[in-house]
Amino acid sequence: MVEKSHTSGFWPSLYEPFRGVGERLSEWVAPAAEASGAENAYRISVELPGVAEKDIALSVEDGVVTLSGEKRTEREEKGETWFFSERQYGSFSRSFRLPPDADGKAVDARLKDGVLTISVPKRSLAGDPANHVKIKAG
């Protein structure tokens, strides 16, 4: 018979607050996004304030839209007797699985006022209409 140590219950409770820290950190660093669908297209809007177009990469592969990039922010302020400088750098990545009726080959993206809008048109899943064949005698 193996005896259970009196400290075995201590360690899990000590580390419990740290569980999921990586997941919470990635949610904090990742840009906010909103996805919606209309009659003819899907739309994904992502907040990217201060991110230049050249620092954004967008791809579609196997039904997944992947957005990645790097945010670079620098700010300096000067006064007669003081100087303030702040720099922020960081990479980000977000992925969105497209519904089966989304046309991943016709994606359109526009960056305006710090918001990237990705439009993905819908395609018909019904396929080609039925071809009725006339039967001939003979």
Answer for the pair 117, 43: CB distance below 8 angstroms, yes or no: yes
8 Å CB contact between 116 and 134: no
In a domain, 58, yes or no: yes
Per-residue pLDDT tens, the chain, 138 aa: give them. Answer: 555 545 455 555 555 665 665 555 454 567 889 999 999 999 999 999 888 899 999 999 999 999 999 887 777 888 888 888 877 777 889 999 999 999 999 999 999 999 999 999 998 766 656 667 776 766
- Supply the range of the domain harboring residue 63: 30-121
Q: Does the pTM of the predicted model rise above 0.85?
A: no
Coil vs helix vs strand at 131 = coil
Give domain status of residue 42, yes or no: yes
Count: domains in the chain: 1
In a domain, 21, yes or no: no
The values of phi and psi at residue 25, to 5°, are -65, -40
**11 assigned to some structural domain:** no
Where would I find the H helices in the chain? 10-15, 21-29
